[in-house]
Structure 1
Amino acid sequence: MTTCTSFSYSLLKNKLPKAGLVFAFLCTVFAMFGCGAERNIRKGEKFLALGEYHDASVQFKKAYQNTSPKERTRRGEIAAKMALCYNRLSASQRAIAAYRNVVRYKLDDGETHRLLADNLMRNGSYTDAAKEYQIALDSMPGDKMASTGLTAAKKASAVKATKSRYIVKKMDVFNSRRQDYSPMLFGDHFEQLYFTSTRNEAAGDELSGITGVKPGDIFVSEKDVKGKWGAPRAIESGLNSAADEGTPAFSADGREMYITQCLIDASYPRYAQIVVSSRSDAAWGKPSKLEISKDTLSNFAHPAISPDGNWLYFTSDIPGGRGGFDIWRVRIYGNNVTGGVENLGEPINTPGDEQFPTFRPNGDLYFSSNGHGGLGGLDIIIAKVGADHHYHLEYPGYPLNSQGDDFGMTFEGIHNRGFFSSNRGDGRGWDHIYSFELPEIVQTVKGWVYEMEGYELPAAQVFIVGDDGTNRKVAVKGDGSFEYEIKPNTNYILLATCKGFLNHKEELRVEPVSESREYTLQFPLAGISIPVMIDNIFYDFDKATLRPESQEALNGLVKLLNENPNVTIELSAHTDYKGSANYNKRLSENRAKSVVAYLISHGIASDRLTPVGYGKDKPKIVRRKLTEKYPWLKEGDVLTEDFIKKLDKDKQETANQINRRTEFIVLRTTYGMFDEKGNLKNVPKPTPKVQTARDDEIIFE
């Protein structure tokens, strides 16, 4: 991770130098140096002030070579500058050599040994790392990073030997000879993979002074019908530029892409910012900056959207954190921030660096850290919310984690499989994309929320409550679907809601299983402002008597009215065009009354129901669902007598059957809410907000 957007060992992970600050290494009088070394150091310091670590390291290396071995102090000072650059470039072998030279020339302190130990950890030299951490602790008693590092170094070999069940594979189809990192799956069927790359196809002609390669751009690979991933291609829109773009994340509805961007300025340090690109006609537009804070001297990077779509999580070095880079969050609505930033605090954030947050749909937060111990570099940590509403951390072990930097997770829906980034085994410290999978028995519920007779409802939300303490709000995808992992021996209630529609509730009992299982549920929502046809209502021929096979549909209507107790409806019956108007009117009225009588007998208040018989006066207007069943109909067709008589003979009777229907339309949504004086009944009493309460909880009464 060596670019601005990767945030690690370059611009962000070890902090960009703040404008106006004096570089924290010893300075010497340039006149004491040779002319060549002096010139190289001056250039190196200039590059270093801008965060251009690659170009700075080249100049410092030349200065080191142009300095006589007899000038030990000068060589040690230059070695310290080289070590800093190599450390931030993740070039651990070079960093180790440079730090050892600092020690050899006796310019070392406790921090020198801690950083040397960090790089030895990245190199898998755990025994030597433990020795250096101990030296650091002897010099800096109580230093948390050195103490955590020493514990990790002593345990690392045993952790690596205790291999977890994760299966990890390098994905050559995505990787280039440059950097490829921070993958993110996209699409209703996860058929697209967006990621950051510094390959030659990236925009711009200049090489980055930070890395020595091109600045990062967003690339995408698509899966074909056979499940094979295609060759990555650059996004052809205003998304990519000559600047550094990377670490993509998507809004819950898939309409916005959040990325990290580092603008190019030849005279000013590169601060990272989060920008947003909107999708129109399947193309991503030019991004605009997301104004998270008025702070212009801090970095904002690594966006991640919470499963409910209400929170933006990110990494920043804003003042007020625990140290290094922390994970923060802020409420968002559309492309706008709606509140102040919040630090996630302990146990997630440490005096080290916490970066690359991402979520599984079940709410588990994955992030990478060098402050929690592990096998070296950045390690992936899992934070799960317990019954006490606090985060509890888990370490997934090897081989998901390695001695290198491991970060940037993306999940294939609710499954514990997907892709991540790592620079394991790369001598240049360059990142590449890997797949991962944790074989497990998973039970899931998959549902679709859609308008009765109409389209999917991507604006809907589903509330999931379980008797195990589960209480979640889940956003649906663009096709109206959602997927959620559920637990055995648990009873669930799922409530689908959408503005302008009645609620729909389903209940589910989950039993233990010996293999993975998926439950499928449908959530058809009745619109408030349009008639809704009730399928499978049958009457005796030429009569108003309800047939027994109508009971299931009628019970469904009873359930709907019970779930929406403040609704009153008009219950209407309709006939085809055959017969006289008076006869059809009378027959339809009687049929509507029969349905109302059934509803009343099953506990629905009579003043919530208005039976109406329209006879043949209101022929059916075709909606989307009917066109799926009868392709010869078009949405918007009106099944009038003239229309039907122009159809083929075999289709005329089908059209007449459609017209012989029972429907309802919502009249009021405030039934029982007000008393005789017009005052609201059961006014909710304000209750103090509990600090640990989740903001997305719902209570079913």
Structure 2
Amino acid sequence: MRVVVFSVLLFFITNYTFAQQRQYSTTDREAIKYFALANQSLDDHLYDDAIGNLQKAIEADNKFVEAHAVLGDLLRQMRNYKASIEQFHKVIALNPEFNRAVYLKAGEMEISNAQYELAQQHLEKYLTYPNITAQNTYYAQKLITDCKFSIQAIAHPVPFKPINLGPEINTEADEYLPVATADEATLIFTRKINNNEDFYKSDKLNNKWQTATYLSDQINTPQYNEGAQSISQDGKYLFFTGCNRPDGLGRCDIYIAQKKGNDWGKPFDLSPPVNTTGWESQPSISADGKTLYFVSNRKGGYGGYDIWKSSLTEKGWGEPENLGPNINTIYDEQSPFIHPDDSTLYFCSNGWPGLGGKDLFMSRLGKDGKWQKPENLGYPINSSGDENGLSLTANGSYAFFSSNNLNGFGGFDIYTFELPPNLRPKLVTYVKGIVNDAKTKAPLEAAVEIIDLQKNTAVYQDYSDATQGDFLATLTAGKDYGLNISKSGYLFYSANFSLIGHEAKNPYNILVLLEPIEVGNKVILNNIFFDTNKFDLQTESIAELQQLVSFLTVNPTVHIEISGHTDNVGNDQLNQTLSENRAKSVYQYLISSKIAADRLVFKGYGKTQPIAPNTTEDDRKKNRRTEFKIIAK
């Protein structure tokens, strides 16, 4: 910082202090003596001494314009904005035409102090001077845009009632960058103690956060900083930033760690092309785990720090793609958070119109697959200072953030607040399941796949936990989904469920009991669909049929009977024929998929084997089904 301070101070000093033949605005010898001493202190990088000498020069002659100007710029660089503004105002009052740069610097500081009307006046005055560089003209115009936006934002505030998460999480140290799992059962955040950043976690019991504990010796280190993390929705994978580690590629790299039981495995550095010899940080992983958003200053960007994304391929993480000019500016964009709806991005920026420093923004993914121009989250969520590190709950109603301006327990504390409805993402909920052995009830590690039935594409693919058998997936509300679960040595599980009209705040819970491959065991193919009174397979059935093909391919000795069933409505003979034709349609699909015909038989049972009373439409729907049964293994 000190080198930066000195170099920027030359902006004023070279203009009107070191020219020995210059006629100062004062003739007071004492004032000039202290001013010369201040210049010497600046040469020696003794900035506190420089401030003291400049103050003495002003005490000797309060109309010493040059001393006020240099002191104002020095205080600006030391981030003492209020005192800096006072000095710039003295310069303008003493000599309005002393130096045009005073108006630019004063405007910049006044924005930082939320004095937007005054800042706009000074910036517009600055632009009246001739021969201003294109870069400074652009910057001044940008600041004027910020002023105009800020005046309107303050006149139309958004609801904002931050709530401190309490002493279980917040301490006298700094706590920041909070992220929660989809079920809001676990919160992971960074705590800074003795200038060392480590991860801590808190679990929620009975709707109350418990006392935070050290995350893991596998991830945290005593000599390096860990921060800027992203937790997968099920809490099993942690992406985070590690800097200056011996196994890193650049100054800061992105690492990933996987949860192992109650602890975490050793993290590893993501290989190129995600990490480079440059600076990669602040990861955010999509709900399906297939897209990683992060910040980098690599070549090919629009400004200093840009937001990029990399997609997971069969060969690993693909070549990163810049999010483009609708997100990134010539300034800095950081702290991305991709919501589980996979179409709403939150981030901070000092490039888009804001209230000063870095503001929080939101962008939605358009129908064309491109990010739309971002929307400022508004005042007082944003202020004249820096806001960053926002994350949301899966249901999108509440946000987490950190602040040191709200009279907390000390330093930065973590808060939550209800997000205004117009700033919320799409409604999502989560499916939470447990997979057990049907006989022993022991938890199983099984492949879990959830299909968007309308698009016939997988929206979740992972494994249930080996020790607890659980899995969790966030899903967009208002859609129909298919669920397939498979494990070697077991029949696969098939189900479908609808989140149309489902309360997004309530999870969809499911217990799955996998049956071992034994003669006589059955599987209901819940994702095989037919039109009413027809036997042509609907396209939504393809994913399920392919699951059955895979099962038969992996288990080449298994023989099955495919059976069709109906409810008791209508003519018995027609129902019998319909059930047989539906079973035959599945049989023919399997043969067309290279499954040997001698391993397959099909049969229609009509209404003769109900699994529920035919007294309600829901029960009759259960009876209208397609099954397969193991007849040999």
Q: TM-score, normalised by structure 2?
A: 0.65
Answer yes or no: is 1:510 the counterpart of 2:500. Answer: yes
Cα pair 1:113 1:133 within 8 Å, conserved: yes
Q: Give 3-state SS (helix, strand or coil) of 1:156's partner.
A: helix
How far apart, in 1, do the equivalents of 2:19 and 2:276 lie?
A: 33
Structure 1 residue 358 and structure 2 residue 337: aligned?
A: yes
1:83 aligns with 2:76: yes
Residue 156 (str. 1) matches residue 150 (str. 2): yes
Distance 1:473 1:169 in 2: 34
The Cα of 1:349 is off from its aligned counterpart by: 0.6
1:250-649 equivalence runs, <5 A: 250-251=231-232, 254-263=235-244, 271-284=251-264, 287-292=267-272, 298-331=278-311, 338-363=317-342, 364-392=344-372, 393-424=374-405, 431-438=412-419, 444=428, 446-448=430-432, 453=437, 455=443, 459-464=447-452, 466=454, 473-474=459-460, 479-487=470-478, 492-494=480-482, 496=484, 504=494, 506=496, 508=498, 510=500, 518=506, 520=508, 533-534=521-522, 563-564=544-545, 567=549, 570-571=559-560, 602-603=583-584, 604-605=586-587, 607=597, 610=600
Which residue is 2:118 aligned to? 128
Q: Secondary structure at the match of 1:237?
A: coil
Equivalent residue, structure 1, for 2:191: 197
Instruction: Measure the CA separation in 1 of the matches of 2:84 and 2:601.
Output: 82
Asked whether the equivalents of residues 452 and 524 of structure 1 are also in contact (C-alpha less than 8 Å), the reply is yes
Match of 2:535 in 1: none
Specify whether residues 360 and 563 from structure 1 end up closer, same or farther in structure 2 by C-alpha distance, changes over 3 A only: same
Asked whether the equivalents of residues 382 and 395 of structure 1 are also in contact (C-alpha less than 8 Å), the reply is yes
- Structure 1's 184 and 447: CA in aligned 2 closer, same or farther, altered over 3 A? closer
User: Structure 1 493/160 Cα, relative in aligned 2: closer, same or farther at 3 Å?
Assistant: same
CA distance in 2, matches of 1:149, 1:35: 34
* Cα offset, 1:528, TM superposition: 10
Q: Structure 1 residues 532, 301: CA separation in 2 closer, same or farther (over 3 Å shift)?
A: farther
Q: Which amino acid aligns with 2:472?
A: S
Query: Matches of 1:328 and 1:401 in 2, distance apart?
Result: 24
Aligned-partner Cα distance in 2 for 1:285–1:102: 60
Answer yes or no: is 1:147 the counterpart of 2:104. no
Counterpart residue number, 1:230: 210
1:181 to 176, 179, 186: 176
* Cα drift, residue 475 of structure 1: 5.2
CA distance in 1, matches of 2:582, 2:476: 39
With a CA cutoff of 8 Å and minimum separation of 6, indicate the structure with the bigger relative contact order: 1
- Aligned equivalent of 1:659: none
* Partner amino acid, structure 1, of 2:390: M
Q: 1:40 Cα shift?
A: 5.6
Structure 2 unaligned regions, length at least 5: 21-32, 59-63, 526-539, 553-557, 563-575, 589-596, 603-626
1:654-673 equivalence runs, <5 A: 664-665=629-630
What are the superposed Cα offsets for residues 166-206 of structure 1, whole Å, 9 maximum, x if unpaired? Answer: 543233433334432211114x63222222233xxx2x5xx
Residue among 47, 51, 73 paired with 1:64: 51
Find the aligned partners of 1:109 and 1:275 in 2 and give their Cα distance: 48
User: How far apart are 1:486 and its partner, in Å?
Assistant: 2.0
**Do the aligned residues in 2 keep the contact of 1:315 with 1:356 (CA within 8 Å)?**
yes
Q: Secondary structure at the match of 1:127?
A: helix
- Taking the aligned partners of 1:146 and 1:528, their CA distance within structure 2 comes to 71
Conservation of the 8 A alpha-carbon contact between 1:379 and 1:402: yes
Q: 1:331-368: CA deviations, max 9, x gaps?
A: 4579x963333211111011221110012110111111
Shift of 1:22: 10
Equivalent in the alignment of 1:587: none
Mapped contact 1:410–1:420 kept (Cα < 8 A): yes
Q: Is the alpha carbon distance of 1:160 and 1:342 closer, same or farther for their aligned partners in structure 2, counting shifts above 3 Å?
A: same
Code of the aligned partner of 1:486: A
CA contact (8 A) 1:64 1:79 kept: no
Alignment of 1:235-254 (within 5 A): 235-238=215-218, 239-251=220-232, 254=235
- Secondary structure of 1:243's aligned partner: coil
Partner residue, 2:530: none
**Residue 325 of structure 1: how far off its partner (Å):** 1.6
- Against the structure 1 CA distance between its residues 135 and 189, is the aligned structure 2 distance closer, same or farther, given a 3 Å change threshold? same
Amino acid aligned to 1:62:
D
* Amino acid in the other structure paired with 2:50: A
- The number of residue pairs the alignment matches comes to 515
- Distance in structure 2 (CA, Å) of the matches to 1:307 and 1:217: 24
Instruction: Provide, for residues 10-68 of structure 1, a one-character-per-residue CA deviation record: whole Å limited to 9, x for no partner.
Output: 89xxxx98xxx994552878999999868864674xxxxxxxxxxxxxx4223221355
AA at the equivalent of 1:433: I
Q: 1:284 to 1:483 in 2, by over 3 A?
A: closer
Percent sequence identity is 22
Question: Structure 1 pair 404/563, CA: closer, same or farther in 2 (3 Å)?
Answer: same
Partner SS for 2:151: helix
Mean Cα deviation higher: 59-68 or 472-481: 472-481
| CA 257–517 in structure 1, closer or farther in 2 if over 3 Å, else same | closer
Q: Secondary structure at the match of 2:221?
A: coil
Partner Cα distance (1:485, 1:97) in 2: 53
Are the aligned partners of 2:587 and 2:600 in contact in 1 as well (CA < 8 Å)?
A: no
Residue deviations 1:218-272 (CA, integer Å, cap 9, x gap): 233332x32222333444514132333322212455444222334499xxxx944
Question: Residues 252 and 517 from structure 1, CA distance in 2 versus in 1: closer, same or farther, beyond 3 angstroms?
Answer: closer
Equivalent residue number for residue 619 of structure 1: none
User: Is the Cα–Cα contact under 8 Å of residues 314 and 357 in structure 1 kept in the other structure?
Assistant: yes
In structure 2, distance between residues paired with 1:175 and 1:332: 36
Q: Which amino acid aligns with 2:144?
A: L
User: Which secondary structure state, in structure 1, belongs to the residue aligned with residue 560 of structure 2?
Assistant: strand
Change (3 A) 1:82 1:230: same
Contact kept, 8 Å, 2:65 with 2:91, in 1: the verdict is no
Find the counterpart in structure 2 of residue 657 from structure 1.
Answer: none
Counterparts in 2 of 1:311 and 1:43: CA distance versus 1, 3 Å: farther
Deviation by residue 1:623-643 (Cα, 9 ceiling, x = unmatched): xxxxxxxxxxxxxxxxxxxxx
Q: Deviations over 1:640-665 (max 9, x none)?
A: xxxxxxxxxxxxxxxxxxxxxx9845
- Aligned partners of 1:466, 1:115: CA distance in 2, in Å? 57
